[in-house]
Structure 1
Amino acid sequence: MPAPIDGPADWEADAICREVDPELWFPDKGEHSKTAAALCAHCPVDGECLDAALARDERYGVWGGLTTRQRDRLVAERRRTA
């Protein structure tokens, strides 16, 4: 179960996503997430975002530039190499 979100983390104030329509980060099934991922690539806090999403086991949306499927693969790879 994902960890509860207590409130905004300090790094969130610097996140590019704060300036964009939130729907962009949660594309419908079959829609592309490339635009969101491209914005994440220029975000100064993408690493913190990804770490937070992994810690909370976010199941939806683009976080730290990765989709749910990409995050799942990253977690699986980390487990294999740990």
Structure 2
Amino acid sequence: MLIDTIPAPDLVWQEEALCAQTGGEFFFPEPGSSVREAKRICGLCPIRAACLEYALDHDERFGVWGGLSEKERLALRRSSG
């Protein structure tokens, strides 16, 4: 169905995300695994800020979003709120 291929308006930015082109394994690693490669890719991504904003707005608790790990996003939420 065509409707299934159209992203929700608040997710359109994901089409430009570098993570969408590299695969999710870097961004959702096994517990205890390094997130270094995900953060490197995020650092090159032109929509990093939109990604981080989305993760914070939607309380994403897993994976690397906008260049920050779960623990880093939690710390950011606690320090700003």
**TM-score, shorter chain, exceeding 0.5:** yes
TM-score if structure 2 supplies the norm length? 0.85
Correspondent of 1:54 among 50, 53, 56: 56
Correspondent of 2:15 among 13, 16, 28: 13
Q: Which runs of 4+ in 1 moved over 4 A?
A: none
Structure 2 segments unaligned to the other structure (5+ residues): 1-6
Distance 1:27 1:11 in 2: 22
Distance 1:16 1:9 in 2: 14
TM-score if structure 1 supplies the norm length? 0.84
Distance 2:61 2:12 in 1: 22
Structure with bigger helix share is 2
Distance 2:14 2:62 in 1: 18
CA-atom RMSD in angstroms = 1.4
Structure 1 segments unaligned to the other structure (5+ residues): 1-5
- Shift of residue 46 of structure 1? 0.4
Aligned to 1:42: 44
